[in-house]
Amino acid sequence: MPITAVEKNTDELTLTITAEFPVSRRRLWDAYSDPRQIERFWGPPEYPATFHRHDMAPGGLTLYSMTGPEGDTHFGFWEYLAVEEPASFDVVDGFCDADGARSDDLPTMRMVYRFEETAAGSRLVARTFFNSTEELEQLLEMGMEEGARTAMGQIDAVVADTERFAAERGTTVQPLTERTVRLARIVAGSPEQVWRAHHDPDQLRRWLLGPDGWSLTRCELPEELGPYHYEWTSDADERFGFSGEVTEARPPVREVTTERLAGTDGPTTTNVLTLTPLDEATLVTLHVTYPDVEIRDQALETGMADGLEASYVRLEREVLAG
């Protein structure tokens, strides 16, 4: 059990949990910043977590759910007040519904997580600040301390699983709900470099080529928000493309776009691109929301992960390596 101390201070209205780990501070930080890893330990085993959004940057937001053995689902959020990679993050923590609307019945708290280096590895100090004695007692009665102990007891297995972490450097695809899918790829470059590669037309033409024999021949992007258009042309002069709109942009952290096959009345998806700094790399996550489960499953059957993996291999080789 990594937890070495639990301190409840009713005068300062805080609950502080300290835990020690035999891995580097950077490795521990990456486990919290990668949604694929944190959801393996954030919820107790009987209430596994799914992270639907995880913008670990100042002003960012995390939205997660925990589903119980009876199928009951509970949602929570983090609103980031400060992030100092890889030393600490400071969030407002609370309960919400599936759309992120905050609960009026349950309290919000402030949480500060500190990651420290030690002679044997690293130390995590997680301090929660409550608004009143009543709120502190309410959440303790709901099992907050026991849940934290159980959840933190799972971190050792995650941070020690370096083989699986290395395997996940390739593109992974994970259905999150009946309408959403998360694609993820660790790319050898900084978030600033990866963001530029996604938004510089000259760089895009070098790596976002489509299937063999195709090239990106039209690449129209807005300065920040607004419509965009991509078109690919084959050696046989066949063409296809996508059109949509950039609706939110926070370089180099997050971008939200809509997407539809150009020239059709086909379904529109919502795509959320998130870039998370890891140790000498960037985690690229793409959350895609489809109109319904049937369209989601059709998209999964197209081999989308293979196409994305080929593109990111080209990105690393043709753009970032230089």
pTM exceeding the 0.75 threshold for the entire prediction:
yes
Whether residue 185 sits in one domain with residue 133: no
Closest by CA position to 119, among listed 24, 29, 19, 6: 24
Domain carrying residue 187? 169-320
- The total number of residues shown for the chain amounts to 322
- Same structural domain, 159 and 174: no
Same domain flag for 156 and 61: yes
**In the listed set 115, 142, 165, which residue is the last one of a domain according to the structure?**
165
- Claim to verify: residue 17 and residue 153 sit in the same structural domain: yes
Asked whether residue 100 falls in the same domain as residue 197, the answer is no
Domain match, 138 and 173 both = no
In this structure, what CATH number is given to the domain that contains residue 271? Answer: 3.30.530.20
Q: Answer with the one of 149, 165, 181 that is the final residue of a domain.
A: 165
Q: What is the pLDDT along the chain (322 residues), one digit of tens a residue?
A: 588 888 989 889 999 999 999 999 999 999 999 999 999 999 888 889 999 999 999 999 999 999 999 989 999 999 999 999 999 999 999 999 999 999 988 889 999 999 999 999 999 999 999 989 888 888 778 777 787 788 888 898 898 876 566 556 789 999 999 999 999 999 999 999 999 999 999 999 999 997 788 899 999 999 999 999 999 999 999 999 999 999 999 999 999 999 998 888 888 999 999 999 998 899 999 999 999 999 999 988 888 888 889 999 999 999 998 6
9 with 115, same domain? yes
Which of 165, 190, 208 is the endpoint of a domain?
Answer: 165
